[in-house]
Chains A and B, each alone.
Chain A
Amino acid sequence: MNKTVLGIMAVAAFLASSAWADAPPEIFVVTDYAFDRASNPGAPDVVNGLCATRCNALSADYQSYYKPGGWRLIKAESGKKLVVDLDNPFVKGTCSCTGDVYDVYKDIRCPDTVNKGAAAEKK
């Protein structure tokens, strides 16, 4: 193998490894939810369900990464807790959304399937 080929391979490997070198996109996959009762002690019970909806809406659907193929999800953090406003016009309060954080990498084994998606993800 001559030096030129080795050089091209080295550059290609560098480009591949540094594609997301800055900060890979992250997704949050929710595993639990709870209404923060202290945020509105008088809130009716329905707020628990509203927090389920609120937290699920924050969650990425991991299947939408696995099913099309071309993506790898590597767990970056387990049990991360996000406190978010319930954001409902009829009742105030906050929700605690617990979930796992994954770094999203394009799978270089099947580059044709991911380029467009990867670009969109980076935006």
Chain B
Amino acid sequence: MTNKSTIRRVSSAVSLVGLLLLACMAAGAATASGAGSKPAMSHEEQLRYGERMYREGILPNGKPMQALVQGDVPVSGSSFTCVSCHLRSGLGATEGTVVTPPTNGRVLFQPRGLLQKNFEMVPTVRKYSLSLPQRPAYTDETLAECIAGGVDPAGRELSRTMPRYHLNEADMAMLIAYLKTLSDRLPPGVSETEMHFATVITDGVRPEDVQAMLLPIETYISKKNGIASAFKRRPQSMRMAVNMMGPDLVAMKMSLSRWHLKGAPDTWRAQLEEYYKKDPVFALLGGIGNGSWEPIHRFCEDHRLPDLFPVTDYPVISSKDWYTLYISKGVFQEGEGAARYLNTMHELLKGKTILQVVRTTRRGKALATGFLSTWKAFGWPAPVTVELSADQPLTPPLLDRLLTKEKPAVLLVWDDAAALPAVAALAHRADRPGMVVMSAVSLGPELRHIPDAARSYLYLTYPYRLPQDDVRYDSFIDFLIKGKSFDEQALRIVKQSYALGALQSQALMEMRGEYYRDFLLDTIGMMPDMDLPLYERLSFGPNQRYASKGCYIVQLGKGDKPELVKRSDWAIR
């Protein structure tokens, strides 16, 4: 592979890149003649610029980095960012058969051997290591040559899909300085012997729901600690566990603190800061709250602290935030599902009115927001919206008046079960809307008691796997719930929390002994779909933060013990 002609070609390429670099630097110096008068950049500033180059492919001067791929194809660095392959942690990626090496300073500045030390016999790590070539340790100079010329310190040319970046000396130095900070020291909450977590419980949650959330997490931790104890007593009997987890994780104990947040949400931040100061943790696991998760979400963003699968109906909907992974978009997702379903028949709804009756509770508003934002993203005009205050009942006469005035083809009722009598009364109205849509979750136990007359025109958003199908997944959680009693809501929470245990245990096993927060999230982003109770396929693509993306539209079947009948597939887009 590294024959003489290749080396000559590489050397020529490096020389050429070097000349280009010099030219760039000269040009940079010329254009920045005023730059000499600028104050020297602080180290923090340099790291910020380095981070921007790594994550966004944007130079300190605000322009996109320039690069070549496949030998001579010019590309913009903002399209071929470092982070898209080496990931946020810089610890590399495995996607199918493609293995991307780590690019963080701690790993780069050490020689790479054939196998990862202490993980020689762990099959997953072994396979990963064998996919990467051996090489001497990088230096700043050889790393700069590699980034610019695509040649490693062993003289080996990198894959031609790795862009060769044109950077001037100062920008290159900033990028390398940033790489040195990536995943460079163990985060709080992790030591060689212990991994410490916390779970957040806010005021006002039913005690049985708190227990339902804690049960799978504490069971998982207890089982894991059992393995660690057994390993300590008789390591030779735990060979299979060592092979699955690696020699470090198998011996590691785990612990979970409960952070109770009391009082008004605007006081939670201070409480969280206090908890975190006294009791630093690697990540937050689960957690439960009745209201918005925003204060905890923001706290985690600011402290770069992962927060996995909190049980909340009101997650923060964001396409940019990174540290909180939600199991779904909660109530918002039902509104989104309704919009996706109606979009399949948009041609039939052109010129017709959609009326949205919204109870101005947190739930009603989240449903309406989910619908509206998705509906508008499809390019359709906003529906007519009528808001009802929390204490204004939706009576049959009121609904009659609204329908007489608006004559909608579709009526969305974002309200709870108290609206059912008014909806059922529409059965007698000749010009009732073709479809009435409500949230099945908002109806609670009344879902099974929808009056017969309304079942033909009432469509429901249902964000879970249908009960008659989900029963086949009961075996997953039988060991947790055997001998215990849970109502429907608590059982759902057990299932949500069980998904966290499955996600967490799998992710830790795939982290190759690199227990860094960003790498935990990177690893979860690379995991294949999971088939678990309650939700149809759970998965995170790169940068995705909501594992369940779909929603069914269902109707209630006929009879005293009706089943939910699908009217859509698991609509995800």
Chain B 522-538 interface mask (CB, 8 Å, partner A; 1/0) = 00000000010000110
Q: Which of A56-90 contact B (CB under 8 A)?
A: 56-61, 63-65, 67-71, 87-90
Asked if B469 and A44 sit within 8 Å, CB to CB, the answer is no
- Answer whether A68 and B435 are a contact pair too, CB < 8 Å, given A44-B348, A120-B468: no
Chain B 468-480 interface mask (CB, 8 Å, partner A; 1/0) = 1101111110100
Q: Which residues of A contact B473 (CB under 8 A)?
A: 64, 67-68
Q: Does A112 contact B (CB under 8 A)?
A: yes
Residue of A nearest to B434 (CB): A89
Asked if A120 and B457 sit within 8 Å, CB to CB, the answer is no
Q: Does B160 contact A (CB under 8 A)?
A: no
Asked if A61 and B469 sit within 8 Å, CB to CB, the answer is yes
Q: Which residues of B contact A69 (CB under 8 A)?
A: 475
Q: Does A24 contact B (CB under 8 A)?
A: no
Residue of A nearest to B566 (CB): A57
- Answer whether A53 and B349 are a contact pair too, CB < 8 Å, given A68-B472, A89-B434: no
Asked if B568 and A116 sit within 8 Å, CB to CB, the answer is no
Residue of B nearest to A64 (CB): B469
Residue of A nearest to B471 (CB): A120
**Which residue in A57, A91, A113, A121 is a CB contact (below 8 Å) of B475?**
A113
- How many angstroms from the CA of A64 to the CA of B345 in the assembled complex? 28
Q: Which of B341-396 contact A (CB under 8 A)?
A: 341, 344-349
Asked if A53 and B568 sit within 8 Å, CB to CB, the answer is yes
Q: Which residues of A contact B347 (CB under 8 A)?
A: 44-46
- How many angstroms from the CA of A23 to the CA of B306 in the assembled complex? 50
Q: Does B567 contact A (CB under 8 A)?
A: yes
- Answer whether A56 and B472 are a contact pair too, CB < 8 Å, given A64-B465, A67-B531, A90-B409: no
Residue of A nearest to B531 (CB): A67
Task: Name which of A67, A89, A91, A117 has the most chain B CB atoms within 10 A of its CB.
Answer: A89
Asked if A90 and B349 sit within 8 Å, CB to CB, the answer is yes
- How many angstroms from the CA of A22 to the CA of B473 in the assembled complex? 25
Q: Which residues of A contact B468 (CB under 8 A)?
A: 120
How far apart are B486's CB and chain A's nearest CB, in angstroms?
15
How far apart are A105's CB and chain B's nearest CB, in angstroms?
13
Q: Does A50 contact B (CB under 8 A)?
A: yes
How far apart are B187's CB and chain A's nearest CB, in angstroms?
34
Interface band, chain B: 20 to 34
How far apart are A110's CB and chain B's nearest CB, in angstroms?
9
Q: Which residues of A contact B409 (CB under 8 A)?
A: 90
Asked if A46 and B345 sit within 8 Å, CB to CB, the answer is yes
- How many angstroms from the CA of A56 to the CA of B552 in the assembled complex? 11
Asked if B536 and A117 sit within 8 Å, CB to CB, the answer is no
The A-B contact count (CB < 8 A) is: 77
**Which residue in B341, B344, B471 is a CB contact (below 8 Å) of A116?**
B471
Interface band, chain A: 20 to 34
Q: Which residues of B contact A116 (CB under 8 A)?
A: 471, 474-475, 478
Task: Name which of B348, B349, B567 has the most chain A CB atoms within 10 A of its CB.
Answer: B348
- Answer whether A112 and B345 are a contact pair too, CB < 8 Å, given A53-B568, A56-B569, A90-B409: no
- How many angstroms from the CA of A71 to the CA of B509 in the assembled complex? 29
- Answer whether A53 and B531 are a contact pair too, CB < 8 Å, given A68-B472, A120-B468: no
Q: Which of B390-434 contact A (CB under 8 A)?
A: 409, 434
- How many angstroms from the CA of A89 to the CA of B348 in the assembled complex? 10
Asked if A68 and B569 sit within 8 Å, CB to CB, the answer is no
Q: Which residues of A contact B465 (CB under 8 A)?
A: 64
- Answer whether A117 and B345 are a contact pair too, CB < 8 Å, given A57-B566, A57-B568, A57-B569: no
- How many angstroms from the CA of A29 to the CA of B160 in the assembled complex? 44
Residue of A nearest to B567 (CB): A57
Q: Which residues of B contact A121 (CB under 8 A)?
A: 471-472
How far apart are B159's CB and chain A's nearest CB, in angstroms?
35
Asked if A90 and B568 sit within 8 Å, CB to CB, the answer is no
- How many angstroms from the CA of A122 to the CA of B435 in the assembled complex? 32
**Which residue in B346, B434, B472, B568 is a CB contact (below 8 Å) of A71?**
B472
How far apart are B438's CB and chain A's nearest CB, in angstroms?
16
How far apart are A32's CB and chain B's nearest CB, in angstroms?
15
- B-side residues, CB < 8 A to A, are 341, 344-349, 409, 434-435, 457, 465, 468-469, 471-476, 478, 531, 536-537, 566-569
Shortest 7 CB-CB contacts between residues of A and residues of B: A89-B434, A67-B531, A56-B569, A113-B475, A57-B566, A117-B472, A46-B347
Could you list 19 further interchain pairs (A-B, Cβ under 8 angstroms) beyond the known A56-B569, A70-B472?
A56-B568, A57-B566, A57-B569, A58-B566, A59-B569, A63-B531, A63-B537, A64-B465, A64-B472, A64-B473, A65-B472, A69-B475, A71-B472, A88-B348, A90-B348, A90-B434, A116-B471, A120-B468, A120-B472
